[in-house]
Structure 1
């Protein structure tokens, strides 16, 4: 159930349980519409004492971001407490939001849009809202440099670590393998549902021939692996057009830069945004307090997640099919006009 004081009356209004207000309508109508969007919730609804944030597995970037956010909120706000909750990541987080066991969550853009639109693996639309697009994940597909795999096609029939069950990694890996014709039939790879730490151990031990990961650059666990085992990063940018055609513009072309993981030249790959999400019934005052901390401390929050990233309002409000929370709309309009 939602934690105490995380909403105005403990339940979302009927309209929000099925569909949150669109970003265009909210921004166009101004703050008056924002106030009206959550009946019974005034801007002075009182302090939000505690919000549970679904993050990810220990050692992963979501977990690191969640812990950093909890510390930043503790230092910067006396009205709000963030409690990070370890999870399997994106898909699991969205399900926990729907169930009400958490108030906030981090999730990849593709999984978030699937949830809002009621696409598999979600049997029906999930009423979640976005607070911000916080950074971009880079899809990594790596193999031992001395091994036989030199291309995505060469993975046919091989064991591949394809992300933990319930993770966003598993979503993007599955879609890439389908685009490459490697998800069924005689060419199908043998997908292993492994988290990052397990995937690294499996690649080092030779029980898988490749490892999928989606995260910031550099991801510390992969930097450590690259120091122990020379790696080859397979380019994936050639699949972006097919992914966008089938799943929409949540996928973009990005580049793993030279120097990261010891790379001598850039490697093109698939980028996916990460959203900070909230249940629709989280109080607007709590959202405003939280976003104030996020924008005041973004460099600290992203330091351990993705090098060189910046958080800017025009980037933060780009959350695609996932509607902005009314409190986020009010925050962005009050601060940035």
Structure 2
């Protein structure tokens, strides 16, 4: 009886609004990263702002970019946050997706924030202060959740500089929060954490263990090798001093763009309204994570790896933004 009443109520609501309910799933990431809090904030914003159009968005936790590409391809999620390299390789069926079919349904909505690759290591194990310190480490080191974007890019970057994780250390798979706790308890020697800065799990480590913690630098030579291996998608960047508690010096590493992806078959009007709601209420996303402070119309198209969805393109054109030819499908 309760389910029958609920179904009748939902049908009545749909008839009143004159619209068929549209339920979207947003694939985010694991707790302790940046994707999850921003994804929750974005889902809440879209559901509130598009309620009169019967559009509802629900966030789900995932292993991150690698899983999110698969979820979009299978239509288990219609919207996702992901690394640029996973979007590019997923769309083309190359690189990290070599040997598997491409996902031509992938489209972009907007660039988000740069993703900083951070290799955290116990300070007493630091020798050169660069990624080279992971070669021959021999101890347990978290490469990110299993089959996650973090694991994929960690292995990609280390391979680019000649380090094989399988022989250099003992790779373990943990989400960011679990890895931070294991690091603080001395159960692992370090961890890889890719995210907008400050990354919550890394902040957690620095807040209690700054004197025993180092983030390895990516040397100029290593950055050049990484750029060559990724066709320039990863670029050198500095983590400014003071990003983390008691971090007195800047740290040189590499970054890649994050972007908001969507399936091509999500209606144009829906994506247009989503994009509009997002950029008219950026304060909501910025309140969820300081990484989102860099999201802006000025950088919305920067580094997008796949074509824009027509709904997003329509919104940007209304704002006077020219759409590059490579982003038009």
What range is the shorter-chain TM-score in?
0.7 to 0.9
Q: 2:111, 2:304 within 8 Å by CA — same for their partners in 1? A: no
1:312 matches 2:285: no
Q: Could you list the per-position Cα deviations for residues 33-88 of structure 1 after superposition, in whole angstroms to 9, with x for gaps in the alignment?
A: xxxxxxxxxxxxx6763211111123431111111012222332322221111111
2:164 and 2:214 map into 1 onto residues whose CA distance is 22
How far is the alpha carbon of 1:305 from its aligned partner? 2.8
Whether contact under 8 Å (1:48, 1:285) holds in the other structure is no
Where does residue 116 of structure 2 map in the other structure? 138
Whole-Å separation in 2 of the counterparts to 1:91 and 1:293: 27
Which SS does the other structure have where 1:166 is aligned?
coil
The reply on whether 1:66 has 2:47 as its aligned counterpart is no
Superposed CA RMSD: 2.2
- TM-score normalized with structure 2 length: 0.82
| Alpha-carbon distance change, 213 to 184 in structure 1, aligned in 2, over 3 angstroms | closer
Structure 2 gaps, min length 5: 1-18, 322-329
| Structure 1 position 147, deviation (Å) | 3.9
Partner of 1:291: 275
d(CA) in 2 for partners of 1:111, 1:305: 22
- Pick closer, same or farther for the CA change 1:323–1:196 going to 2, 3 Å: same
Q: Equivalent residue for 1:234?
A: 216
Stretches of 4+ aligned residues off by more than 4 angstroms: none
Is 2:85 the partner of 1:107? no
Encode CA deviations 1:241-288: one digit per residue, 9 max, x unaligned: 222212122212211111122211111111111110011100000101
Which consecutive unaligned segments of at least 5 residues does structure 1 have? 1-45
Contact 1:48 1:286 in 2 (8 A): no
Cα distance in 2 between the residues matched to 1:217 and 1:283: 33
Using the alignment, how far apart are the partners of 2:295 and 2:34 within structure 1?
A: 16
Q: Which of 251, 255, 263 does residue 271 from structure 1 map onto? A: 255
Q: Distance in 1 between matches of 2:20 and 2:300?
A: 24
Which SS does the other structure have where 1:254 is aligned? strand
The equivalent position to 2:199 in structure 1, one of 177, 194, 219, is 219
**Deviation for aligned residue 1:184:** 6.2
Relative to the length of structure 1, the TM-score reads 0.80
Matches within 5 A, 1:42-61: 49-61=22-34
Task: Looking at secondary structure, tell me which structure has more helix per residue.
Answer: 2
Per-residue displacement from partner, 1:299-324 (whole Å, max 9, x unpaired)?
A: 32133333473222342113443111
- Report the Cα distance in structure 1 between the residues aligned to 2:125 and 2:305, rounded to whole angstroms: 41
> How many residue pairs were aligned?
292
Q: Which residue pairs with 2:73 in the alignment?
A: 98
* Contact 1:144 1:209 (C-alpha < 8 Å) held by counterparts: yes
For residue 124 of structure 1, what is the aligned residue in structure 2?
Answer: 101
Following superposition, the deviation at residue 329 of structure 1 comes to 1.3
Distance 1:276 1:184, change over 3 A: closer
Q: Aligned with 1:125: secondary structure?
A: coil
Q: 1:244 to 1:151 in 2, by over 3 A?
A: closer
1:97 & 1:77 partners in 2: Cα distance? 22
